[in-house]
Amino acid sequence: MAQNAAPTMRVTYTKSSIGYAHDQKKTVESLGLRRLHQTVEVPDTASVRGMCHKVRHLVTIEEPSGATKE
What CATH homologous superfamily does 8-62 map to? Ribosomal protein L30/L7 (3.30.1390.20)
For the entire predicted model, the pTM comes to 0.82
pLDDT of res. 28: 98
User: How confident is residue 5, by pLDDT bands cut at 50, 70 and 90?
Assistant: confident
User: How confident is residue 51, by pLDDT bands cut at 50, 70 and 90?
Assistant: very high
Burial environment of residue 11 by CB neighbours within 10 A (0 to 12, 13 to 18, 19 or more): buried
- For the chain, the structural domain boundaries read 8-62
